[in-house]
């Protein structure tokens, strides 16, 4: 996006040139601030200063719906709001950089250049080598602040993850929330600290070799504290609708300033917070029939901001209909995103782990065939009919690389979409969880862990949102209605037992108990060792084939060339003994034999002992509910064959 050059008059005799960082908002300059806001529905806009030095400064219209003014003598920390025409209510800045008192309060001027970064040597993220870790700042630690989360970063670095994916932080109303109802997209919520506290978190992450990716919501704004309509009805459109109401106007009349607003927001996080990328929420609800889709522009903005800082970036998206074009390069007609979340893998895994096959899980069996297909092709539904939705789901994605799919066993949505928000460690057998954790972390797709998963956290993750009055009642009822798609939850007595999203106790129950990390060392060791294997074994990045052994067992074969082959055997059922087994992927390379390199049944992980396949002349065996990684090595002279 081109830089915006403006001329602001100091007096009738003198003018000064300067360059804005972003098109809208209030930005410090050498001896004051410059304010610019898009308000095409208004005739007059006045900036009202508050606090120790109150005052009112009219902004000048430019004839294109923008109003601007230079305010000498005003600096960082000043608080302000805008008055619009004759409306007696002052409103916060739509592009406020901070809302110290929340979305309904005054905006505050922030000088992003004052922060002392120490990450000049950080080069960003390799999109093909990510191990992501999703967290919610408010529940990640008991304190729920950026500073407290930063203190835990050495533990994540020790675990071996490469990128921290932070759930949305744009300012939202109330004392707690998931963040998906944000209303001030440029203002990190005051609940977790100041904007510089956020920068400090990112700087610390880079110091520990961790990237930071922010979850952003460009498909809707929250229902409380959203003042964009006061400035311009054109921010929204009736041409498209979402489950949250009117869609953002990315392709209708007066859409260009709206597009600029959101594209600038994407660039802002990379430039002013040194973030390493974005995760785009619910992109199926972002509608755009323009020649260049807004998501492509967002990706371009992220890439450009990263290149200017000599850093590589990573952009992933949630897209329930599984539109593969989003992850194709721009040169191939795609949006240029790096990865898409793969719900199909999660749904198959959850059915395999829990037997729960209700609602949107009903088209999955948790079978070996599904895991083989996911390992080889990513999405399981690439245009076939999805019975639950009574329509086809997905589009062909066979051309996408494995790393274009983000796989997970837990995330914020899927853990919370249950009665008690329980983790898989409480819902399934330890053996099955260990085996599928091996598939997650050694499989070819991009793995994602959810906070506390690495040590089997007992804290639930429930839906929580702090609203008042009628809105609180509607949110409570809406959450119960959503969960009622699961027949096991639809019964009146179960609905009555669901946690109230607005109860502070619901929020506090979700905070991680970090003392469990030391108490559950076997689970931590499992995750740490698997991540070490993934990052250190080059053969695991080689070409892959896979085969079904029976309904619950399968193998992945990595062809590692000079590094030798790898064979990951996963059995989610009972003990297996095959005599014979006519599956060529089980045969070792010429003049080689298989050797066990890792087993989920190692006693260090809480297992029952070695689970190495019995690969003798009489057949092949696999222990029940286990996974084992075999490496090929030269056979003894007497065992060699042509």
Residue from 194, 182, 193 nearest 103 by CA: 182
Look at residue 479 and give its three-state secondary structure.
Answer: helix
**Terminal-residue alpha carbon distance, the chain:** 62
H or E segment to which residue 155 belongs: helix 153-159
CB of 285 closer than 8 Å to CB of 247: yes
Look at residue 412 and give its three-state secondary structure.
Answer: helix
Residues near 422 by beta carbon (within 8 Å), at least 6 away in sequence: 415, 460
Both structure tokens of 431: 């053996």
Both structure tokens of 424: 């898989």
Q: Please give the torsion angle defined by the CA atoms of residues 233, 238, 240 and 246, in that order, rounded to the nearest 10 degrees.
A: 60
What does the DSSP assignment read for 334-371?
A: S---SEEE-HHHHHHHHHHHH----GGGTT----HHHH
Q: Please give the torsion angle defined by the CA atoms of residues 225, 229, 230 and 232, in that order, rounded to the nearest 10 degrees.
A: 140
- What percent of the chain is helix, strand and coil (3-state, nearest 5)? 30, 25, 45
Catalytically annotated residues: 281, 318
Residue from 565, 519, 554 nearest 627 by CA: 554
- Chain center to CA of 602: 32
Distance in angstroms (rounded) separating the CA atoms of residues 1 and 23 = 10
Q: Can you name the residues that pair with 279 across neighbouring β-strands? A: 215, 316
Distance in angstroms (rounded) separating the CA atoms of residues 477 and 112 = 41
CB of 445 closer than 8 Å to CB of 378: yes
Distance in angstroms (rounded) separating the CA atoms of residues 614 and 570 = 14
CB of 32 closer than 8 Å to CB of 77: no
Determine how β-strand 66-72 pairs with β-strand 60-61: antiparallel
């Amino acid at each position: 996006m081109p830089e915006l050059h403006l001329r602001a008059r100091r007096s009738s005799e003198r003018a000064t040139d300067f360059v804005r960082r972003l098109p809208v908002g209030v930005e410090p300059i050498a001896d004051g601030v410059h304010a610019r806001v898009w308000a095409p529905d208004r005739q007059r806009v006045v900036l009202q200063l508050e606090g120790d030095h109150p005052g009112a400064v009219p902004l000048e219209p430019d004839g294109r719906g923008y109003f601007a003014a230079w305010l000498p003598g005003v600096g960082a920390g000043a608080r302000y709001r805008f008055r619009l025409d004759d409306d007696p209510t002052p409103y916060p800045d739509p592009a406020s950089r901070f809302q110290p008192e929340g979305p309904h309060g005054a905006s505050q001027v922030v000088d992003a250049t004052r922060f002392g970064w120490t990450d000049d040597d950080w080069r960003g993220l390799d999109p093909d080598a990510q191990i992501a870790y999703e967290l919610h700042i408010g529940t990640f630690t008991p304190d729920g602040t950026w500073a407290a989360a930063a203190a835990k970063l050495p533990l994540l670095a020790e675990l071996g993850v490469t990128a921290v994916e932070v759930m949305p932080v744009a300012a939202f109303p109330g004392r707690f929330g998931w963040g998906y109802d944000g209303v001030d997209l440029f203002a990190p919520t005051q609940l977790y600290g100041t904007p510089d506290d956020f920068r400090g978190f990112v700087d610390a992450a880079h110091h520990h070799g961790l990237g930071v990716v922010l979850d952003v919501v460009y498909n809707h704004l929250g229902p409380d504290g959203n003042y964009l309509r006061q400035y311009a009805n054109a921010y929204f459109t009736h041409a498209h609708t979402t489950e949250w109401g009117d869609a953002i106007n990315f392709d209708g009349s007066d859409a260009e300033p709206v597009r600029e607003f959101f594209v600038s927001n994407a660039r802002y996080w990379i430039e002013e917070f040194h973030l390493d990328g974005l995760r785009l929420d619910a992109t199926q609800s972002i509608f755009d029939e323009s020649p260049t889709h807004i998501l492509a522009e967002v990706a371009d903005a992220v890439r450009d901001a990263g290149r200017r800082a000599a850093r590589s970036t990573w952009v992933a998206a949630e897209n329930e209909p599984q539109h593969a074009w989003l992850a194709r390069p721009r040169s191939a007609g795609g949006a240029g995103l790096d990865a898409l979340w793969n719900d199909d893998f999660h749904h198959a895994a959850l059915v395999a782990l829990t037997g729960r096959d209700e609602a949107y899980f009903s088209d999955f069996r948790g079978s070996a065939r599904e895991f083989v297909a996911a390992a080889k092709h990513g999405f399981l539904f690439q245009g076939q009919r999805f019975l639950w939705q009574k329509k086809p789901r997905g589009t062909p994605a066979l051309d996408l690389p494995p790393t274009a799919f983000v796989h997970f066993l837990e995330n914020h949505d899927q853990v919370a979409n249950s009665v008690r928000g329980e983790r898989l460690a409480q819902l399934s057998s330890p053996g099955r969880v260990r085996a599928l954790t091996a598939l997650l972390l050694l499989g070819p797709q991009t793995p994602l862990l959810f906070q506390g998963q690495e040590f089997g956290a007992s804290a639930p993750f429930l839906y929580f949102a702090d609203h008042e009055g009628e809105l609180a009642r509607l949110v409570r009822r809406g959450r119960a209605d959503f969960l009622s798609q699961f027949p096991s939850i639809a019964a009146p007595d179960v609905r009555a037992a669901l946690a109230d999203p607005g109860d502070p106790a619901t929020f506090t129950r979700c905070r991680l108990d970090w003392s469990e990390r030391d108490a559950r060392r076997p689970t931590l060791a499992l995750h740490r060792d698997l991540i070490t294997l993934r990052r250190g074994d080059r053969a695991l990045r080689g070409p892959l084939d896979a085969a079904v052994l029976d309904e619950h067992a399968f193998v992945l074969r990595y062809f590692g060339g000079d590094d030798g082959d790898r064979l990951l055997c996963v059995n989610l059922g009972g003990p297996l003994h095959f005599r014979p087994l006519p599956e060529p992927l089980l045969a070792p390379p010429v003049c080689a034999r298989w050797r066990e390199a890792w087993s989920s049944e190692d006693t260090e992980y809480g297992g029952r002992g070695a689970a190495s396949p019995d690969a003798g002349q009489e057949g092949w065996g696999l222990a029940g509910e286990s996974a084992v990684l075999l490496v090929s090595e030269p056979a003894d002279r007497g065992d060699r064959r042509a």
